Structure 1
């Protein structure tokens, strides 16, 4: 059985330790971990032969882009009884990451997975490396460092055994939680030493230099890429025992909610809390100052906090508040008017970001031009667990408990807000009940910390309600995507012009100029992979009037929807099969050269060096073929049913989806089956990959048919799942078949958590067209088609 180790905070919170690990104290575990002489993190290149010494990163040195720079980190402890503890430093929100990374360590060590206990790291990037669990980068950035940790520990155990037996280390082999003595022919002699027997001696040894570490070959793996390894938290999650953010309890803790301004930038002009203070259970009312200066980053909105002895009493007290707000600059924000403005902007030339060939000549000489405009509303992450944070300040030190994707970023800004050294702030990470990017922003944690400070350090649990979550989020951007396709006399695509207009996430971090920045236009826009001689990508100006933030797959959602939908539109116009036409557009097998393709010099490739993570059309075409073949592409379907296909590269992975739709007599859109193929390179846990792709289909259906945020007079019109709809049990993808491409050994790991979302909406729209002949270009499309 795999265990997840609770910390001292969990004991204080009243949670029960598993009996099997009751003899392992947190102090003992952390004290036994490798420290200054610990395991060196290095590059993430997987050598062609795993037994070769590690090669330096091709760009030079050992630097990784997310802050892991040959630093010693604390990850492994072995108890005298052989119990193995592995620190997991990324946040768990359903991706399985705090299981999958320790799997890599355990596999390279030769450990028995049933004897592994996991302990969640607090926010401390100096010690653990980057902890921002976002961008689908946990595995692709940390597979190799975790392999190095495990392999180094294995060699240390083998060296310790060799000293005990007075033999060469080459005659010692770690496997199944023990080290076996081999004869000169490499056969086991029957003599073994357990990991527990070797723990003290192994930990006393110097860590092997990175260039001397030997890695397992794929045929030696027992965990990576093998079988069905369930996440460590699965039992507790499914039985209701798992501890989420709101489950934390501290002695003397109070409960709070906050009334926040409906319009971004509005301030409290005056308030009357006399009725609130009469509500039974209400104990205090405090004003929390908002952050109005640019950059706002993830600063708190500000408002009036109500503190009570229960969350319900605090909510009742909030309802009794009388607040007069001083209107901010965004009171006139109206979604319909804004969409019309964006459409008008998209109809005009914008800032040129990619230019290949001579697009003007291609359109001037075209026999025909297909023009289509695709709209997308704002989206809110709406994780099942609303935001919550617990703060306590004692003796000049602050502790925060929260379900957070970026614990170290939160720690830094909490320290600044409280005006105390960062060393005096501790951030404990709980299990996340979903995140999707919202919990990478820590405004809710700042609120809790500031409120505790106002209460003299008393512990307080600050709860966001679902209405708070829907109406005060960092929203996925709204957008207009206008694509024009030039066709020559032979019916070939000779020109492609794509204009994108959308408020930018960069407005959250600096003064808004209305244009996007490299991370956004590198997501399915300038990196369009089609073999077209003349291409131009332009960005039109759109000022932000609300907080814009990360959302699962970010700008890939609307870009893939537009590009993959228009491919089907052009295929229909030409009388071509959409799948065959898509493969033709992808062109010959090649790695796209950014320079000859007209990419800008600041092209953002998901934070990866392009030489190591190029856009590979062979991999794109392969997932298209695999998905189409397994979906039965071309088969005869009953009336009002259809198949649609789409493909997209995101976060260094390649995903194609085929969606099968069936339209009811009343027009209701149903999805009997989704077939997806994913090429994410080297992969560790197939069970989690399938799970993420299944979840992406469900979320993709929500984005495509149901979910949308609109503004009127500067305020969000939706408030809960009653009017911000999501896919439900009554209508969701009934079957999701996932096909994972086996990557050749040595192919880098790509992302998994986000890449499955973008192809769904265009594949669905294309399937609806195949079933009904109706083309839907707005997200959400609605759950019925006339």
Structure 2
């Protein structure tokens, strides 16, 4: 669907100029349209001390002085309409709904009168806006609650002042203020203007609701606030934005990462009706970070003309240093790397001595290929440069990063750039990197600042993205007489995301190691973890769950192998390996990152990990006898400070065809703000994890991606989805406790649970993804 800019601006508040809220401070409020505009700020708890270096990965690091700027906005119009500003991007996870319902609950608002507007990219105003790391509500629940509670207090004070009664005698409930003694009542909208003249109460003076009185938080009865617009086609995504007189652009990018244009013949392209301009975008300096790959841009009056013009280009490419990259051959390099010592990243006890003294030794290697995020909506951006001001409309997970890269590339002052955020048709990490927005800006610049919408096709998305790393994991264990490990060796070789930021980066960064490897909580006395070097030959980027995927697949599969060698039940063996319930300081076992969280507030709790495993197994009726060719598999994992476990029931037919009969996924993420969205996120994670297990793979030959579209890069089709997915939320109603993440933790345990179930059904061990024909006779 195509929508005009006016509709888009109304939906996402893009009309408000950057200076509209310039006078808002944390101790003042503005009267807006005769109503109330509330701005609040808070001080984000620092990791360790405030003097600590801002965390580059995982945490919501803020600019200096950010606590003095407004962070959350609650507006109440004279007609009572409440507008909540959402500072995180909506890409299907329901963040616009969840943030609004938190504010509305503390505000005692009528949900039917609540609206949401989207913040533009401005971290000095709104705080960290990167929608990644499964941390939006994890970090902002208390602040959103205070925003709503402070607004409620101000309305109460305004009504009390108007009636000449004590504020503690006024009650706010369901959008109405009442005074029981005088039997008076007044709707919120009628006192909003008076409330706007009152000072914002000090944070410590604000009284939060008792969770027992919550009307929305934790109830799971609220659908997506954008659901009607989404289902009727009115919702505005990056592909939908339209302004008067805009042009369209596509780019022919180097087919090999690091390549560049040698020459281009555009004579035929320029003859295509509708083509306006063809120009060359220079290659980025390496490491490339978030910069465009370079290539040849075609700008036209419509998308079809741009496509046909691009097809008509005759380009000679220099494929550069990665011209010979072959992912099959590179796998062999990684296998060689993990068979030799690497950089030690955790070492406890004496692994070598324990291995020598072990009764039995087992070893296995596990492989995970490159993966593409492949969001349903490929990257898209509309940019206009007018009168020295750059304005962008785009589907981005990182509006501030987009803003900053645009300003730098165009040589503009920060206040001369504005990034408006649309809905995202999926992201999975791809839309954290704004190379496509910069491409759109360069196209606008090339045509004198006219508005240009740049789009990526599915082929572009698969050929020129930021790929999930390829990896080989080698595990070795020495077992005692009871079949339990006395020694554990894990070597992980994979190109690092750090390679797009630093030349020559070949070892994993702390946040990659902290995704299920160094923070492995197993009760093994002797442990050594190593990280051999691995060079990157493609752009490596974030992918939903990131390095948890290969680590969980390898570790949870290996545990099943150890259980089989010991003649034990896999679930019982896994629980024994985890050991008794205990609290582990992640920094004590080598995890200096801990998902960006304070380890004192977010330690590893093996009791919670045990409970999700027991819950998933119990729901699947673990231990029951199944027909021939069917099996149950189990896997548990800790990621994004949340605990998840999957029990998979699979059937393998005589030809090796795999059917997923049932998935039980248990999750302990602490208090659940919006249980319905937690369930949907887990269901989506199961389907995505199943695709990674059975069919999804990106391969390279001569530096080029071999998959062009969804016929080659296979995601889970509806007819192959699990027949039944059961989500089990471990209850928690203590909203003073820290929240865990939700968007990503469901993915890692899916593939190993399926692989372990296939072994139970067939006796065939799965050590590489995707499974594809490994089950064939």
TM-score by length of 1: 0.93
- 3-state SS in 1 of match to 2:596: coil
DSSP 3-state at the match of 1:700: helix
Residues 11, 80 of structure 1: alpha-carbon distance in 2 compared, 3 angstrom cutoff: farther
Alpha-carbon distance change, 326 to 32 in structure 1, aligned in 2, over 3 angstroms: closer
* 8 Å CA contact retained: 1:273, 1:320: yes
Q: Deviations over 1:460-508 (max 9, x none)?
A: 1111010000000000000000011110123221111110000000001
CA contact under 8 A between 1:83 and 1:116: conserved in structure 2? yes
- 1:40 corresponds in structure 2 to 40
**Would you say the 8 A contact 1:560–1:648 is kept in 2?**
yes
Q: Return closer, same or farther for 1:11/1:165 CA change in 2, 3 Å cut-off.
A: farther
Q: How far is 1:714 from its partner? A: 1.1
Matched, 1:564 2:543: no
The alpha-carbon deviation at position 327 of structure 1 amounts to: 2.5
Retained in 2: the 8 A contact 1:171–1:181?
Answer: yes
Instruction: Report the equivalent of 1:361.
Output: 353
Partners of 1:58 and 1:419 lie apart in 2 by 37
> Residues 16, 66 of structure 1: CA spacing in aligned structure 2 closer, same or farther, 3 A cutoff?
closer
Shift of 1:27: 7.7
Contact 1:39 1:152 in 2 (8 A): no
| Distance in 2 separating the partners of 1:26 and 1:574 | 66
Distance 1:538 1:40 in 2: 46
Match of 2:496 among 479, 504, 517: 504
Q: Is the 8 A contact 1:43 1:144 kept in 2?
A: no
Q: Is the 8 A contact 2:25 2:68 kept in 1?
A: no
Distance 1:293 1:371 in 2: 38
Where does 1:62-77 land on structure 2 (aligned, <5 Å)?
A: 65-67=60-62, 69=67, 71-77=69-75
1:435: which partner in 2? 427
TM-superposed deviation, 1:40: 3.3
The 1:648–1:520 alpha-carbon spacing in structure 2 relative to 1, beyond 3 Å, is: same
Aligned residue for 2:367? 375
Alpha-carbon distance in structure 2 between the residues aligned to 1:239 and 1:71: 37
Query: Residues 233 and 213 from structure 1, CA distance in 2 versus in 1: closer, same or farther, beyond 3 angstroms?
Result: same
How many Å apart are 1:594 and its aligned residue? 3.8
- Structure 1 residue 170: Cα displacement: 1.6
Query: Which residue of 191, 215, 219 corresponds with 1:226?
Result: 219
TM superposition shift of 1:31: 6.1
Distance of 1:627 and 1:461 partners within structure 2: 47
1: CA distance between counterparts of 2:51 and 2:159?
A: 33
Out of 123, 135, 148, the position equivalent to 1:125 is 123
Q: Partner residue of 1:174?
A: 172
* Residue in structure 1 matched with residue 758 of structure 2 by the alignment: 768
CA deviation profile, 1:185-207 (whole Å, cap 9, x unmatched): xxxx6322211111011122111
| Separation in 1, partners of 2:47, 2:103 | 21
Q: CA deviation at 1:664?
A: 2.3
Match of 2:695 in 1: 706
8 A contact 2:255–2:319 mirrored in 1 = no
Supply the distance in 2 between the matched residues of 1:783 and 1:735 (Cα, whole angstroms): 23
Aligned match of 1:467: 459
Structure 1 CA distance for aligned equivalents of residues 551 and 684 of structure 2: 20
What SS does the corresponding residue of 1:216 show, helix, strand or coil?
coil
In structure 1, the residue matched to 2:202 is: 209
- Residues 586 and 603, structure 2, Cα contact 8 Å, conserved in 1: no
Alignment partner of 1:411 out of 377, 380, 403: 403
In the other structure, the counterpart of 2:505 is 513
In the TM superposition, residue 29 of structure 1 has moved relative to its aligned partner by 13
Q: 1:179, CA displacement in angstroms?
A: 1.7
Give the Cα separation in 1 of the matches to 2:571 and 2:664: 14
Aligned residues: 756
Deviation (angstroms), 1:182: 4.3
Distance in 2, matches of 1:116 and 1:28, equals: 24
Partner residue in 1 for 2:231: 238
| CA distance in 1: counterparts of 2:178 and 2:583, whole angstroms | 46
SS at match of 1:75: strand
> Does the Cα contact within 8 Å between 1:276 and 1:318 map onto a contact in 2?
yes
Match of 1:392 among 360, 373, 384: 384
* Conserved 8 A contact 1:43-1:145: no
CA 1:34–1:157 in structure 2 vs 1: closer, same or farther (change >3 Å)?
farther
Q: Give 4+ residue runs of structure 1 displaced > 4 Å after superposition.
A: 13-18, 24-36, 56-65
Specify the alignment match of 2:85 in structure 1. 87
Q: 1:60 to 1:473 in 2, by over 3 A?
A: closer
| Distance across 2 between alignment mates of 1:338 and 1:446 | 31
**Contact residue 40 and residue 149 of structure 1 kept, 8 A:** yes
Contact conserved, 1:157 with 1:198, CA < 8 A, in 2? yes
- Secondary structure of 1:778's counterpart equals coil
- Residue ranges of structure 1 left out of the alignment (5+ in a row): 1-8, 46-55, 184-188
Contact 1:34–1:76 (CA under 8 A) maintained in structure 2:
no
1:274 aligns with 2:264: no
Structure 2: distance between partners of 1:591 and 1:327: 52
* Residue of structure 1 in register with 2:662 after alignment: 673
Gaps of 5+ in 2: 29-37
Kindly indicate whether residue 187 of structure 2 is the aligned counterpart of residue 197 of structure 1: no
**1:117: how far off?**
1.0
Q: TM-score, normalised by structure 2?
A: 0.94
